[in-house]
């Protein structure tokens, strides 16, 4: 039988198959191999013996949190306290892009801005939409719900951005605590926390305070590709780094205003970080 691991507590693995949750242990062979199952893993298990036999191929895997097979990341982005930080947004987008996770930008706190400020932010986010990213405002609950169906999702973003508030709107029975800076963000705290996948409106939600290590893995080439709008403007030199080259379509488009300056600046910063490694 096949199922998805929804919870791990020391050596006990809870596997979900349709609506059943079966507590399982691991076959001894896993100890010899170096692969350990993670929350989110699809596995083959023996229902009678309650033993996990095999981990099915992963779409992606993260170390912190220790999870696999994330389909969608809602990048919860506040436009007012905490202020919008384009580099942070871009970093999360790149991280998801590099790991085959579909990012959805979820904008919060528009109601706290005046009309002029609202229009500025709308323009900023419409750039991302024009790149092909999904942008949803947090009052568009129906749109958010549609994305959850059948997917393993995670909500990420700065503390205070409005993740718990949004989840409470989606699932009013949850009563998640809001408004306080979560103490679990303190270092060393959530490494020991049980990671669990909760059922939410036909999808699954990873309950974790966040992707704490935002270190980008990947090569310079992969980084270039992760800025998805760059693909629209091929440079004369195939291996152009978009930095010092004289003829570079990317720099040209930044000048023309077709590529957002902050996106290009994020690219330069991340490139530096990737190269340092």
Ligand X SMILES: Nc1nc2c(ncn2[C@@H]2O[C@H](COP(=O)(O)OP(=O)(O)OP(=O)(O)O)[C@@H](O)[C@H]2O)c(=O)[nH]1
In Å, how far are 72, 110, 222, 256 from 231, measured between CA atoms?
22, 31, 12, 17
Interface with ligand X in residues 113-142 (CB under 6 A) = 138
Residue 248 binding result from Mg ion, ligand X, Zn ion, none, given CB thresholds of 5 to 8 Å by partner type:
Zn ion
Q: Can residue 162 be called a binding residue for ligand X (CB under 6 A)? A: yes
Question: Choosing among Zn ion, Mg ion, ligand X, none, which partner's interface includes residue 179 (Cβ < 5 to 8 Å by kind)?
Answer: ligand X
Q: Which is nearer to ligand X, 106 or 259 (CB)?
A: 106
Q: Smallest distance, Å, CB 111 to ligand X?
A: 5
Type and span of the H or E element at 78: strand 72-78
Choice between 181 and 246, CB closer to ligand X: 181
Query: Is the Cβ of residue 182 or residue 262 nearer to ligand X in the bound state?
Result: 182
114: nearest Cα among 80, 164, 163, 64: 80
Which parts of 192-251 interact with Zn ion (CB under 5 A)? 235, 240, 242, 248, 250
Rounded to whole angstroms, the Cα distance separating 260 from 253 reads: 9
CB-nearer residue toward ligand X: 162 or 203 = 162
Q: Smallest distance, Å, CB 93 to ligand X?
A: 18
- 62: which strand partners? 67
- Do 156 and 126 contact (CB within 8 A), yes or no? no
Contact status: 164 vs ligand X (CB under 6 A): yes
Sort 57 into a burial class: Cβ within 10 Å, 0-12 / 13-18 / 19+.
exposed
Phi and psi at residue 222, to the nearest 5°: -65, -35
Cα–Cα distance measured from residue 94 to residue 235, given in angstroms and rounded to the nearest whole number: 21
- Residue from 14, 138, 158, 164 that binds Mg ion (CB under 5 A)? 164
Size of the site for Mg ion (CB under 5 A): 2
Cβ-closest residue to ligand X?
162
Q: How far is the CB of 234 from Zn ion (least distance, A)?
A: 9
Angle between helices 261-276 and 249-256 (to 10 degrees): 150
Closer CB to Mg ion, 14 or 164, in the complex: 164
Helix (H, G, I), strand (E, B) or coil at 197: strand
Q: Which residues bind ligand X (CB under 6 A)?
A: 76, 108-109, 111-112, 138, 157, 159-165, 178-179, 181-182
């Amino acid at each position: 039988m096949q199922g998805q691991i929804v919870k791990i507590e020391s050596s006990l693995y809870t596997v979900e198959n349709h609506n059943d949750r079966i507590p399982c242990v691991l076959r001894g062979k896993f100890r010899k191999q170096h692969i350990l199952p993670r929350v989110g893993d699809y596995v083959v298990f023996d229902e009678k013996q309650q033993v996990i036999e095999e981990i099915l191929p992963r779409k992606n895997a993260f170390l912190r949190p220790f999870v696999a097979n994330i389909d969608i990341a809602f990048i919860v982005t506040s436009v007012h306290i905490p202020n919008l930080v384009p580099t942070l947004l871009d970093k999360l987008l790149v991280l998801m892009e590099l790991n085959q996770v579909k990012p959805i930008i979820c904008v919060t706190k528009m109601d706290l801005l005046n009309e002029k400020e609202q229009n500025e932010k709308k323009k900023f986010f419409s750039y991302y939409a024009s790149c092909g990213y999904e942008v949803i405002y947090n009052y568009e609950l129906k749109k958010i719900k549609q994305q959850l169906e059948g997917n393993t999702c995670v909500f990420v973003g700065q503390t205070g951005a409005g993740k718990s508030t949004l989840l409470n709107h989606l699932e009013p029975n949850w009563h998640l605590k809001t408004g306080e800076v979560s103490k679990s963000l303190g270092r060393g705290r959530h490494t020991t926390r049980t990671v669990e996948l909760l059922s939410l409106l036909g999808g699954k939600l990873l309950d974790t305070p966040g992707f704490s290590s935002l270190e980008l893995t990947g090569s310079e080439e992969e980084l270039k590709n992760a800025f998805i709008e760059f693909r629209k403007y091929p440079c004369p030199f195939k291996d152009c780094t978009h930095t010092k080259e004289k003829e570079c379509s990317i720099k040209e488009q930044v000048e023309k205003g077709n590529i957002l300056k902050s996106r290009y600046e994020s690219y330069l910063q991340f490139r530096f970080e990737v190269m340092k490694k």
